[in-house]
């Protein structure tokens, strides 16, 4: 089996990076632009890093068509840190917020938010395999913001529309599907995404925030989480994760060269359709438990050996996949089964090789 990589990495994150980018980083690692120094040795206030920082911001603005009244920030603390940062910057306006819980990460976000104010659960009960119809939602009258996770990495649930919030600022965690589809940024108050799935390595979080939401941080908000302060200082008030931003800038350049977000969206459709077709046509040997209308294009969970899964078969599946250098296919510990993450750096050819293996495995271990 051949591929764009010697090994196929279907991990949920940190995830596969484009080989082209890794080669560029390797070539520049010891001496960035013939400086005799590695980028990781340079000051975050150097002209070299300033150029990288500004280029990365401009690329985000260009690729996502970010309106001029939005600021682009590069922060630390991961998505989990952003769960708190959002509250410390926005919740003080009314002391409460609405949360759409559709899986693991939105559930964690809601629990974190409860430390800072009142959390209104929009759904009567948390969902992990479907998204309730908007007519059943119970949005509050006094929310400072409405939070949701656009794509649940663990559970494999993805929104295919933008939630309507009746004018309340909408906050979206797009950590696992940023740059995989066109986004109307103007419909959001804040979009944030950990880089380590689609746009770079771990260590940096992209935050896109509407200007009118800046300047409302609570008095106990740490400076490193104060969006207005980070914006005012161009994301370099303190030492940022310079190497992560450097690699992210290269990934953004790669996305642009490949055809931008439109091309990434087409690839995502092709990859997910290929895998879902294999699951659907397996005569229930492979089963995806997620409601079809909200199945993720990016993180696809499935069971082997029927709807409830067969532990022995799933272990065998993972064992044989690794022999073919297909890695990180094990489902999250809270869900079980198998999960294939199809981020931007994963090619259509990679997914076809996975499907080829799945079909061979079914022939060998499925009903005769």
Residue 248 token pair: 């992210």
Which burial class, exposed, middle or buried, applies to 50 when counting CB atoms under 10 A from its CB (0-12, 13-18, 19+)?
A: middle
Catalytic option among 16, 71, 197, 271:
197
State the Cα–Cα distance between residues 222 and 325, nearest whole angstrom. Answer: 44
Question: 268-295 burial, b if ≥16 CB within 10 A, otherwise e?
Answer: bebbbeebbebbeebeebbbbbbeeebb
Per the annotation, the verdict on 173 as an active-site residue is yes
Separation in Å, CA 303 to CA 169, 232, 288, 307, 339: 37, 48, 6, 6, 9
The catalytically annotated residue of 98, 105, 155, 226 is 105
Identify the active-site residue in 98, 150, 173, 226. Answer: 173
Is 197 annotated in the active site? yes
Which residue numbers are catalytic?
105, 173, 197
């Amino acid at each position: 089996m051949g591929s764009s990589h010697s090994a196929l990495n279907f991990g949920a994150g940190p995830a596969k990076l484009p080989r082209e980018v890794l080669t560029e980083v390797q070539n520049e690692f010891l001496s960035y632009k013939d400086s005799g120094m590695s980028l990781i040795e340079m000051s975050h206030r150097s002209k070299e890093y300033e150029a990288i920082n500004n280029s990365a911001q401009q690329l985000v603005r260009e690729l996502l068509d970010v309106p001029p009244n939005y600021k682009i920030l590069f922060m630390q603390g991961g998505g989990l840190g952003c769960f708190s940062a959002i509250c410390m910057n926005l919740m003080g306006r009314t002391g409460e917020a609405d949360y759409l819980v559709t899986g693991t990460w939105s559930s964690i976000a809601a629990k974190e938010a409860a430390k800072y104010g009142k959390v209104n659960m929009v759904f009567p009960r948390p969902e992990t395999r479907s998204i309730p119809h908007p007519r059943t939602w119970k949005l509050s009258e006094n929310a400072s913001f409405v939070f949701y996770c656009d794509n649940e990495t663990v559970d494999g649930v993805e929104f295919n529309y933008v939630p309507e919030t009746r004018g309340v600022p909408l906050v979206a965690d797009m950590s696992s599907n940023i740059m995989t589809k066109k986004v109307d940024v103007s419909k959001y108050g804040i979009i944030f995404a950990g880089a380590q799935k689609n746009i770079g390595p771990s260590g940096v979080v992209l935050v896109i925030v509407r200007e009118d939401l800046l300047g409302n941080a609570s008095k106990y908000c740490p400076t490193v989480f104060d969006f207005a302060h980070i914006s005012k200082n161009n994301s370099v008030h303190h030492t940022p994760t310079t190497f992560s931003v450097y690699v992210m800038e290269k990934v953004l350049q790669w996305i642009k060269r490949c055809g931008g977000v439109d091309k990434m969206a087409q690839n995502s459709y092709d990859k997910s359709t290929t895998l879902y077709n294999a699951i659907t046509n397996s005569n229930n040997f492979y089963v995806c438990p997620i409601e079809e209308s909200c199945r993720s294009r990016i993180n696809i969970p499935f069971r082997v050996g029927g709807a409830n899964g067969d532990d022995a078969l799933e272990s065998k599946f993972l064992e044989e996949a690794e022999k073919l250098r297909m890695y990180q296919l094990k489902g999250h510990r809270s869900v079980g089964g198998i999960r294939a993450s199809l981020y931007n750096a994963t090619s259509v050819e990679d997914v076809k090789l996975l499907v080829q293996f799945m079909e061979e495995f079914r022939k060998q271990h499925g009903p005769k």
